[in-house]
Amino acid sequence: MKLLIARPMTAAVEARARAEFDTEIRTSTAPMTEAEMLRALSEFDIVMPTLGDMFSAGVFAQVPEPRCRLLANFGVGYNHIDVAAARGAGVAVSNTPGAVTDATADIAMTLLLMTARRAGEGERLVRSGRWEGWHPTQMLGHHVTGKHVGIVGLGRIGQAIARRCHFGFGMQVSYVARSDKDVDFPATRMDSLAVLAGAVDFLVVAVPGGAETRHLIDAQVLAAMKPSGILVNIARGEVVDEAALIAALSEGQIAGAGLDVYEFEPKVPEALRAMEQVTLLPHLGTATEEVRTGMGHMAMDNVAAFVAGRDLPNPVA
Ligand code: NAP
State pLDDT tens for residues 70-124: 999 999 999 999 999 999 999 999 999 999 999 999 999 999 999 999 999 999 9
Tell how far CA 216 is from the center of its chain: 15
**Residue 188 Cα to ligand 1 middle (Å):** 18
**Residue 103 Cα to ligand 1 middle (Å):** 14
Q: Determine the average pLDDT of the residues in 38-59.
A: 98
Q: Determine the average pLDDT of the residues in 252-265.
A: 98
Q: Which atom of ligand 1 is nearest to the CA of 177?
A: 21
From the CB of 207, is ligand 1 less than 6 Å away? yes
Q: Which CATH superfamily is domain 100-130+141-280 in?
A: NAD(P)-binding Rossmann-like Domain (3.40.50.720)
Q: Determine the average pLDDT of the residues in 252-258.
A: 98
* Residue 265 annotated among the catalytic residues of the structure: yes
pLDDT at 317 over 80: no
**Residue 285 Cα to ligand 1 middle (Å):** 13
pLDDT at 15 over 80: yes
Name the active-site residue from 148, 236, 238, 292. Answer: 236
From the CB of 157, is ligand 1 less than 6 Å away? yes
As a whole number of angstroms, the distance between CA 237 and CA 52 comes to 12
pLDDT at residue 152, as a whole number: 98
pLDDT at residue 301, as a whole number: 98
As a whole number of angstroms, the distance between CA 146 and CA 21 comes to 51
For the chain, percent of residues with pLDDT exceeding 90: 99
* Residue 290 annotated among the catalytic residues of the structure: no
159 contacts: CB under 8 Å, gap ≥ 6: 151, 181, 183
From the CB of 100, is ligand 1 less than 6 Å away? yes
Q: Which CATH superfamily is domain 2-99+288-308 in?
A: NAD(P)-binding Rossmann-like Domain (3.40.50.720)
The full set of domain ranges for the chain reads: 2-99+288-308, 100-130+141-280
How does residue 16 score in pLDDT terms, banded at 50, 70 and 90? very high
pLDDT at 20 over 90: yes
**Residue 223 Cα to ligand 1 middle (Å):** 23
Q: Determine the average pLDDT of the residues in 192-220.
A: 98
Rounded to two decimals, the pTM is 0.96
pLDDT at residue 31, as a whole number: 98
Name the active-site residue from 69, 214, 283, 297. Answer: 283
Condensed to tens digits (0 to 9), the pLDDT of residues 35-44 reads 999 999 999 9
67 contacts: CB under 8 Å, gap ≥ 6: 41, 42, 43, 44, 45
φ, ψ at 303 (rounded to 5°): -60, -45
The pLDDT mean for the chain works out to 98
Q: Which atom of ligand 1 is nearest to the CA of 98?
A: 25
* Pairing state between β 256-259 and 278-280: parallel
* Domains 2-99+288-308 and 100-130+141-280 belong to one CATH topology: yes
